[in-house]
């Protein structure tokens, strides 16, 4: 399907997702023959176009296998669009919602890739500001890719506090919420992304979302099958004071690289979980979902196939973990990951 809002280079296929900010389409690139994802904003006002420009410029400056690639964009008010690689896979939040806690070696592998992507992002003097399970894509080969740079900003401190407070509750660093820790350079800086990485790792360990304001239970009791070193790293990444966290994404990646699959796991059996279909499986052997993996655009817009609507995860079945393994956390619903702030429903 041709669109009057796009150049002849792109031929739209099916709609991948839609939300408050706009829509994403699978499209054929008639110039290269590749299948791409094209994001089209709903509105054309100056604020929307300014945000769209920032996202396009930020992502275009980063080239890394663990960051979704921007291929082409236009900020022409008459026809703005953003063309990116189309990922054949699913989000990390979708995987944990289906299969619950992940095996220690999977946690380490994905966390290494996210930290490598963040190192590239920070090296480009960019702060992601919304690292969460919903913004990590996993392709068929297990490659993790950071996506959705709609909230990203540049690293110089004069830019950091100039945009509205929007992010995923539970994964946002406390200094971004309250500003009580760190200098101006630290508030909302690279250390805030590291906090979010730690929260994502904790999510992989428990298979459940982090509830804002809720006291976090000890990881040793929740996941005794993981090593002390892995748990200590998660806890350090989530320290309230940015100065107490690892110094950089590169340092975090190096520490994770020393945690081989064997050293990250202990002899203690991993907690079991109940899959949505009712089949009990060991967390150390969580399988790939049956059937075709969801083709999702790396844009942060919920897929029609994965979600019932923008910003809503409630239609999906939630895995449960025995209370003996996860205590009160087992009572949570895994469909509570929402964004908040000005522009709720933004994609």
Q: Which pair of structure tokens corresponds to residue 126?
A: 């960019």
C-alpha 210/C-alpha 337 separation (Å) is: 8
Binding site for ATP, residues? 39
C-alpha 173/C-alpha 166 separation (Å) is: 12
Return the SS3 of 224: coil
Distance between alpha carbon 303 and the CA centroid of its chain, in Å?
14
C-alpha 316/C-alpha 337 separation (Å) is: 12
Q: CA–CA distance from 91 to each of 19, 215, 241, 347 (Å)?
A: 17, 26, 29, 15
C-alpha 141/C-alpha 139 separation (Å) is: 5
CB 295 within 8 A of CB 16: yes
Binding site, residues? 39
Q: Which residues of 116-152 are buried (b: 16+ CB within 10 A; e: fewer)?
A: bbbbbbbebebbbbbbbbbbbbbbeeeebbbbbbbbb
C-alpha 112/C-alpha 162 separation (Å) is: 31
C-alpha 169/C-alpha 172 separation (Å) is: 6
Beta bridge partners of 340: 167
DSSP string, 288-342: PPSSPPPEEETTSPPPTTT-SBTTB-TTS---B--HHHHGGGGGS-TT----BST
Active site residue 241: no
Instruction: Choose, from 72, 119, 130, 148, the residue flagged as catalytic.
Output: 130
Cα 336–Cα 338–Cα 193 angle in degrees, nearest 5? 115
C-alpha 55/C-alpha 149 separation (Å) is: 6
C-alpha 232/C-alpha 227 separation (Å) is: 9
Strands 70-74 and 144-146: unpaired
Q: Which residues are catalytic?
A: 130
């Amino acid at each position: 399907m041709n669109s009057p809002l796009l150049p002849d280079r792109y031929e739209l296929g099916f709609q991948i997702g839609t939300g408050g900010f706009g829509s994403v389409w699978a499209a054929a690139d008639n110039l290269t023959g590749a299948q791409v994802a094209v994001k089209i904003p709903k509105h054309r006002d100056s604020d929307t176009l300014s945000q769209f420009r920032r996202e396009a410029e930020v992502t275009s400056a980063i080239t890394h296998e663990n960051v979704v690639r921007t291929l082409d964009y236009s900020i022409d008010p008459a026809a703005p669009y953003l063309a990116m690689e189309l990922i054949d896979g699913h989000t990390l939040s979708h995987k944990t919602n289906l299969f619950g806690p992940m095996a220690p070696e999977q946690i380490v592998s994905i966390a290494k890739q996210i930290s490598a992507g963040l190192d590239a992002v920070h090296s480009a003097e960019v702060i992601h500001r919304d690292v969460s399970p919903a913004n990590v894509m996993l392709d068929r080969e297990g490659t993790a890719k950071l996506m959705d740079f709609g909230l990203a900003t540049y690293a110089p401190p004069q830019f950091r506090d100039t945009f509205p407070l929007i992010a995923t509750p539970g994964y946002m660093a406390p200094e971004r919420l309250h500003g009580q820790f760190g200098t101006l350079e630290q508030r909302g800086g690279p250390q805030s992304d590291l906090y979010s990485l730690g929260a994502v790792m904790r999510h992989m360990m428990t298979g459940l979302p982090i509830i804002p304001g809720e006291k976090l239970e000890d990881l040793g009791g929740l996941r005794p099958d993981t090593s002390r070193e892995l748990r200590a790293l998660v806890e350090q990444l989530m320290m309230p004071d940015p100065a107490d966290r690892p110094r950089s994404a590169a340092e975090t990646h190096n520490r994770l690289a020393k945690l081989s699959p064997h050293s990250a796991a202990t002899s203690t059996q991993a907690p079991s979980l109940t899959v949505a279909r009712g089949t009990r499986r060991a967390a150390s052997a969580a399988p790939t979902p049956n059937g075709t993996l969801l083709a999702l655009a790396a844009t942060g817009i919920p897929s029609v196939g994965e979600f019932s609507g923008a910003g809503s995860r409630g239609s999906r079945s939630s895995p449960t973990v025995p209370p003996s393994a996860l205590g009160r956390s087992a009572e949570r619903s895994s469909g509570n990951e929402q964004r908040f702030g000005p522009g709720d429903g933004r994609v």
